[in-house]
Chain A
Amino acid sequence: MHISEGILTAPVLAGGAVLTTIGTSIGLKKLDYDRIMTVSLLSATFFVASLIHVPIGPGSVHLLLGGLLGLILGWGAFPAIVVALCLQTIFFQYGGLVVLGVNGFIIAGPAVLCGLLLKSLLNGTRRKQMIGGFLAGFCSMFLSAILMACALFFSDAGFLRVAGIVLASHLPVMLIEGLITMFVVTFLIRVQPEILSLNT
């Protein structure tokens, strides 16, 4: 899910940078500073999650846990993901600093969207909570794959081909991500519901 440097064209890079800057500034503005430790811990979770490599399917894919961050942090997921991505670039040479904007939006955009849309489900019955958790994990990665295909399409040709490859290689990891998010969310609701700031 990390696009490397030297692949995308300048307009795509600029567009991604602008969108990520907007998202990050909204995220920072909406950030409740009492929750800064939660943001930081989840940012660290995201940072490490990308190292968990899922050896299924044709490509090389890893977890993202964007949906989980979106559900717990809302807009705060944006800065959390961008900072972690920046560190991944520096430490692991994933992606690149120039592509940080695009990669940031590809991952954080869907995470925030899914988090905001599905959060209400977590107030419902246990079944609804499970569905909400699964969908957040699954959909955020699905949308990220679509966005990634779009970014590659605007720089290269053949959207359907690229989208097909990206979606096919990420499908198993989407399911795994959905399940992990579901279990973590239901577990957190039972053990420490305040971290999800529900019923507020």
Chain B
Amino acid sequence: MFIPHLFLSVCLLFLPIQAEAHKIHVFAWVSGDTITVESNFSGNKPLLHGKITVKDNKSGAVLLQGDGDTKGIFTFTVPSDARARKTDLLIVVSGSEGHQSEWLVPATEYLSEDSSPATNQHTKTINNDELQIMIREIVKQELAPIKRRLAENRQNKPDFRDIMAGIGFLLGLAGLVTWMRNRKPKDTKTDD
């Protein structure tokens, strides 16, 4: 009597907190010549030891494979072969239960990262070129967390608006069917 009510209300209480998707979220960001791939389930639960495959986006050829760690993170250096051919990298992450997600790293993203020529360490005065390189290095470090956030935001997670839209769609569908059913008899009556 009382218990079902209580149980249902407790369930409802948890609804907004746990309104999370069931899907692997993947995002990858470039820093220097390494690419970091982070994969997690919704609610920031990391995907344990997910299988990560890096493919050539055009030909689909597998460039490298590896397993994520317990935090769902996998880091790799861009293969020199891919760099030479300027291939876009498609990162595919798969879990054990039929879940799979992808993330595309366009060649422009990692090529723009590594334009750092060798520095001359013996000069004491800093010339313009060296200053540029230093600034680039520092900016790169500072930007890494921001890039991660941007990559994270590119994932579309279910929104409250999506949920309401779905419910509205279903109710609208029912309304449409009811309207069609109710319209028919009237039409036949006027025809007759």
Give A contacts to B, CB under 8 Å: 1-8, 33, 36-37, 39-41, 43-44, 47-48, 50-55, 58-62, 83-84, 87-88, 91-94, 148, 151-152, 162, 165-166, 169, 179-180, 183-184, 186-187
Given A88-B166, A92-B162, A162-B96: A51 in contact with B177 (beta carbons within 8 A)? no
> A152 — which chain B residues lie within 8 A by C-beta?
97-98
Contact yes or no, B21 A92, CB < 8 A: yes
Known A-B contacts A37-B174, A60-B45, A162-B96; A92 and B167 likewise in contact (beta carbons under 8 Å): no
In the complex, whether B19 has a CB less than 8 A from a CB of chain A is yes
**Residues of chain A contacted by B126 (CB below 8 angstroms):** none
Q: Given the complex of chains A and B, what is the CA–CA distance between A6 and B84 in angstroms?
A: 29
- A87 close to B166 (CB less than 8 A): yes
Decide: A44 and B41 in contact? CB cutoff 8 A. no
Quick one: which of B118-149 are within 8 Å of A by CB? Answer: none
Q: Kindly list chain B residues whose C-beta atoms are within 8 Å of the C-beta of A5.
A: 100
Listed from nearest, the 6 A-B pairs whose CB atoms lie closest are A40-B174, A60-B41, A3-B98, A4-B100, A91-B162, A183-B4
Residues of B within 8 A of A (CB): 3-5, 7-8, 11, 14-15, 18-24, 41-43, 45, 48, 92, 94-101, 156, 158, 162-163, 165-167, 169-171, 173-174, 177-178, 181
Closest CB-CB distance, A173 to chain B, in whole Å?
11
Chain B residues closer than 8 Å to A8, beta-carbon distance: 98
- Say how far A45's CB is from chain B's closest CB, in angstroms: 9
Q: Is the CB of B97 within 8 A of A166?
A: yes
CB pair A47 B167 closer than 8 Å: yes
Partner of A180 from B11, B18, B92, B167 at Cβ < 8 Å? B11
CB contact between A148 and one of B20, B98, B165, B178 (< 8 Å): that residue: B98
22 contacts between A and B (CB under 8 A): A2-B22, A2-B98, A4-B24, A4-B100, A4-B101, A33-B177, A36-B177, A36-B178, A40-B173, A41-B170, A54-B18, A58-B48, A59-B97, A84-B170, A91-B162, A94-B21, A148-B97, A148-B98, A152-B98, A162-B96, A187-B4, A187-B5
Given the known interface contacts A60-B41, A186-B4, the answer about A53 and B174 at a Cβ–Cβ threshold of 8 Å is no
Cα of A148 to Cα of B170 in the assembled complex, Å: 26
User: Chain A residues near B7 (CB, 8 Å)?
Assistant: 179-180, 183
The answer to whether A53 and B96 have CB atoms under 8 Å apart is no
Q: Is the CB of A44 within 8 A of B23?
A: no
